[in-house]
Amino acid sequence: MSTSTDYHSHLKWQRFWLHALVIVLVLLVMFPFVWLLIMSFKTIDDIFAWPPKWLFVPTLENYTGLWEGDFPKSFANSLIVSVGSTAIAILLGVPGAYALSRMDMGKSNQLSILILASRMAPPIAFTIPYFLAYRYIGLLDSRLGLIIIYLTFNLSLVVWLMRSFFDATPRALEEAAWIDGASLWQSFVKIILPLSGPGLAATAILCFLYSWNDFFFALILTRTEATTAPVAIVNFMNYEGWAWGKIAAGGAMVMLPVLVFSFLVRRFLIQGMTAGAIKG
């Protein structure tokens, strides 16, 4: 009897130490991220204070400074481009994914290497041809240009993810609808699509996140008019020295929607990142 209580208290201690260890590790891992957030609320003097200030009077001046400059325009560009590209990818990709899921296609596996390769190729592989083509047809520094190049990853993501969602919806539902006289199109739009709502939402959010997070394409394909928020932040590093306060505040603004959306789709994150190789 006593050995059993010993064993249990031993287990309890083990759990305690494990929790303590994990919490310390979490704090350690999160520190760099939290530090940037804190920095965004500091005045420039507090940022350069030595030793670093832990207690300080928070200020919103970095954020208001951002609001008065060109940053809102870049933020809007980011929104327009990300939403636009996501919408087009969904419109084109979802019907395709449904067809792939229902077709009797032994060879559809070859598609998966095309999808995986297009998602894994270094962005510069697309940037060079797009840059040359856009230069020729005048799409450089345009939001439309970014919307199109973001399709390179969004389209294949939609096809892959939605296909696995459609695979999971029972075919018996459509078959029952056909018997009741529904057309093929009706059974897709009125029965299957509404059932795939959550999957569709998750896919759209992932597309939005990938577009929103892009830095490389926007860096090369935009100059002044269509700059997205990530590029705008980097511009704070070049002009008038390093505006650390604005850089931190801009970074916080850019990551805010990302954190919210990622939390919503956390179950699908890995699926999205490994799209093309691993089905959910």
Q: Which of residues 195-214 bind another protein (CB under 8 A)?
A: 209, 212-213
Q: Which range binds another protein by CB under 8 A, 4-12, 59-67, 192-200, 229-237?
A: 229-237
Considering the complex, state which of residue 73 and residue 279 has its C-beta at the smaller distance from another protein: 279
Least Å from the CB of residue 163 to another protein = 9
Q: Which range binds another protein by CB under 8 A, 58-66, 69-77, 92-100, 197-205?
A: 92-100
* Helix (H) / strand (E) containing 254: helix 244-264
Q: Rule CB under 8 A: is residue 114 a binding residue for another protein?
A: yes
Q: How far apart are CA 84 and CA 147, in angstroms?
A: 6
Considering the complex, state which of residue 129 and residue 197 has its C-beta at the smaller distance from another protein: 129
Kindly write down the DSSP assignment for every residue of 4-29, as one continuous string. HHHHHHHHHHHHHHHHHHHHHHHHHH
Q: Rule CB under 8 A: is residue 73 a binding residue for another protein?
A: no
Size of the site for another protein (CB under 8 A): 96
Q: Is the dihedral of CA 43, 44, 47, 51 positive or negative?
A: negative
Which of 71, 130, 165, 208 lies at the binding interface for another protein (CB under 8 A)?
130
Token pair for 27: 């704090």
Site string for another protein, 11-30 (x = CB under 8 A): ----x--xx-xxx-xx--xx
Helix 244-264 vs helix 61-68: crossing angle, to nearest 10: 90
Least Å from the CB of residue 8 to another protein = 16
Q: Rule CB under 8 A: is residue 59 a binding residue for another protein?
A: no
Kindly write down the DSSP assignment for every residue of 139-154, as one continuous string. -TT-HHHHHHHHHHHH
Burial of 182 (0-12, 13-18, 19+ CB in 10 A): middle
Q: Is the dihedral of CA 251, 261, 114, 112 positive or negative?
A: positive
Q: Could you say which residues in the range 133-162 bind another protein, by CB under 8 A?
A: 133, 148-149, 151-152, 155-156, 159
Cβ density class 139-151: b for 16+ within 10 Å, e for less = bbebbebbbbbbb
Q: Rule CB under 8 A: is residue 102 a binding residue for another protein?
A: yes
Q: How far apart are CA 84 and CA 227, in angstroms?
A: 15
Which of 66, 227, 230, 243 lies at the binding interface for another protein (CB under 8 A)?
230
Least Å from the CB of residue 197 to another protein = 19
Q: Could you say which residues in the range 237-256 bind another protein, by CB under 8 A?
A: 237, 244, 247-248, 251, 254-255
Q: How far apart are CA 125 and CA 155, in angstroms?
A: 17
Least Å from the CB of residue 198 to another protein = 19
94 near 200, Cβ under 8 Å?
yes
Q: Which amino acid is at 184?
A: L
Q: Which range binds another protein by CB under 8 A, 1-9, 57-65, 138-146, 257-265?
A: 257-265
Q: Rule CB under 8 A: is residue 186 a binding residue for another protein?
A: no
Considering the complex, state which of residue 97 and residue 202 has its C-beta at the smaller distance from another protein: 97
Residue 218, CB half-sphere, CA atoms under 13 Å: how many? 27
Q: Which range binds another protein by CB under 8 A, 62-70, 89-97, 137-145, 192-200?
A: 89-97
